[in-house]
Structure 1
Amino acid sequence: MSSGWAMRRFWSAAEAEEVAGGYRVTLDGKPVRTPAKAQLLLPTRDYAAAIAEEWQAQDETIDPTSMPMTRSANAAIDKLSVQHAEVADMLADYGDSDLLCYRADGPEELVLRQAETWDPYLDWAASRYDARLEPRTGLMHRPQDPEALERLRSEVHAMDIFGLAAFHDLVSLTGSLVLGLAATDKPDAEAIWSASRLDEDWQAELWGADEEATELAELKRQSFLDAIRAWRLSRLGRA
């Protein structure tokens, strides 16, 4: 049961400022901290500014769901600073059962649509990371090339905590390590999201769209776009 308690706005101005080691957000001059009471220290000015904007936009009662950049930064600092390796391994494991590799054996139109939409992303991963993942027909698991998987795993482990926090959502929302990586590298976010929804969209075309499922899909889409924004903000201006 909900307690009915909600944090209320107590500040006039939320601002981003540079400090030793990065950038922070202040509320009337007092630094924002994470839920675990750690310092909310951001790697870029743009990321801090985006978080300051979220706090400044709050009404009398705070709505955490309207603060995706703040939530991503909190997760990075409170969770990934101590669980980086475990989370990186969990996300890298998607590669061995990547959505893009499991293909239908019919009807022909769906088979062709999957190939036309998904093959270019597998080709991109092979070119970009020297990691060729092979498609399979049916749902039976067949392991991918261990060397290809290891190359992709090393890319995930190389991410800093802020990148990995955003990447967690990119992979878990799409069900694909390859699409998650593509979202960090390619500009066509909507096309990547559509690629992840190919099977669901196919079913909706056949049987009609379910209103509840459509609303949930839109929430996931917005979360995916928020994750891409968090990824990019954490890198703007960095070498």
Structure 2
Amino acid sequence: MKRFYKNVTTAAVDGNWQVLLDGKPIRTPMRRVLHVPTLALAQAIAIEWDLQGEELQVPAMRLTRLATTVVDLLPERQEPAVLQVMDYVGTDMLCYRASSPSDLVRRQDEVWQPWLDWLERAFDVRLPVFQTMLPQEVAPQAQERLDRVVRGLDPWRLVALHAAVTATGSLVLGLAMVEAVLPADEAFLVAELDSLYQVEQWGEDPEVTRRHVALRADLEAIGQFVTALAPPVGM
């Protein structure tokens, strides 16, 4: 798609913020006016549009995609989003550890365990650790507490959480990002520990490198999205 606008600005409208292209508000794929809850997020999205060249690179506008997901899909699809996130409780990557080699076992313990410890401190939820690849049962009490945490998020942070969890394979890391205690660059290193270990052992693979580049960009956008939402907001 060719660029069809010259100027990108922001405006406050009815308690929210809009991004304007030549004075007209951006519309979502469902033709709704894109509104966001903070000036910081509107400005960040405006930068995405302002940096576009003659051809719009829509996949690169990750903040816009996150925001339009909220406007188009929530609250109607809030319950499916919650359930998809909660599916990761029993399969959280951080809970499934290698039994060998010893240096990978040690590295997983050093890098992953602190985030399980953080989860317990932050939400009084202790997730068990297994040395198996088969999904294991998690105590109903842990499930219930995490369900309350997820359902307590406003739609904007729920979308950010969903994106972070699906990107990293970990509900724990997703919550840490939404709580703004896990920066995007560190989230990448924690989530890709096994993959980076394999790169160390066997060298770079072009496909893995491309995936890493995309994942870094996705996590950076999620982190920026969460930061721009502060202070807490509602729909």
TM range (shorter): over 0.9
Per-residue displacement from partner, 1:39-59 (whole Å, max 9, x unpaired)? 211111111111122222222
AA at the equivalent of 1:137: Q
Per-residue displacement from partner, 1:83-124 (whole Å, max 9, x unpaired)? 011111111220111100001111221111111111111111
1:213 matches 2:208: yes
Q: Which residue of 1 aligns with 2:189?
A: 194
Does the CA contact (< 8 Å) of 1:122 and 1:178 recur in 2? yes
Q: Which runs of 5+ in 2 are unaligned?
A: none
AA at the equivalent of 2:112: W
Distance of 1:237 and 1:147 partners within structure 2 = 27
Moved more, 129-138 or 60-69: 60-69
1:38 paired residue among 27, 32, 39: 32
State the superposition RMSD in angstroms: 1.7
Distance of 2:184 and 2:13 partners within structure 1 = 33
Distance of 2:111 and 2:117 partners within structure 1 = 11
Does the CA contact (< 8 Å) of 1:14 and 1:55 recur in 2? yes
Q: Which residue of 1 aligns with 2:105?
A: 111
1:233 matches 2:228: yes
Q: Which residue of 1 aligns with 2:160?
A: 166
Q: Which residue of 2 aligns with 1:47?
A: 41
AA at the equivalent of 1:96: G
CA distance 1:187–1:142, shift in 2 (3 Å): closer
Q: Secondary structure at the match of 2:111?
A: helix
Distance of 2:232 and 2:171 partners within structure 1 = 26
Distance of 1:86 and 1:176 partners within structure 2 = 17
Distance of 2:123 and 2:232 partners within structure 1 = 24
Distance of 1:206 and 1:237 partners within structure 2 = 43
Does the CA contact (< 8 Å) of 2:160 and 2:178 recur in 1? no
Deviation at 1:238, TM superposition (A): 5.1
Q: How many percent of aligned residue pairs carry the same amino acid? A: 36
Moved more, 127-136 or 88-97: 88-97
AA at the equivalent of 2:224: R
AA at the equivalent of 1:235: A
1:87-166 alignment to 2 at 5 Å? Answer: 87-166=81-160
Does the CA contact (< 8 Å) of 1:102 and 1:139 recur in 2? yes
AA at the equivalent of 2:225: A
Q: Which residue of 2 aligns with 1:178?
A: 172
Does the CA contact (< 8 Å) of 1:44 and 1:237 recur in 2? no
Distance of 1:107 and 1:60 partners within structure 2 = 51
1:46-85 alignment to 2 at 5 Å? Answer: 46-85=40-79
Does the CA contact (< 8 Å) of 2:18 and 2:42 recur in 1? yes
Q: Which residue of 1 aligns with 2:199?
A: 204
Does the CA contact (< 8 Å) of 1:104 and 1:137 recur in 2? yes
Distance of 2:119 and 2:51 partners within structure 1 = 39
CA distance 1:10–1:211, shift in 2 (3 Å): closer
Distance of 1:11 and 1:209 partners within structure 2 = 41
AA at the equivalent of 1:23: W
AA at the equivalent of 2:147: R
**Number of residue-to-residue matches in the alignment:** 233
Distance of 1:195 and 1:24 partners within structure 2 = 35
2:21 paired residue among 27, 30, 35: 27
Distance of 1:110 and 1:55 partners within structure 2 = 42
Distance of 2:205 and 2:51 partners within structure 1 = 33
Moved more, 180-189 or 99-108: 180-189
Q: Which runs of 5+ in 1 are unaligned?
A: 1-5
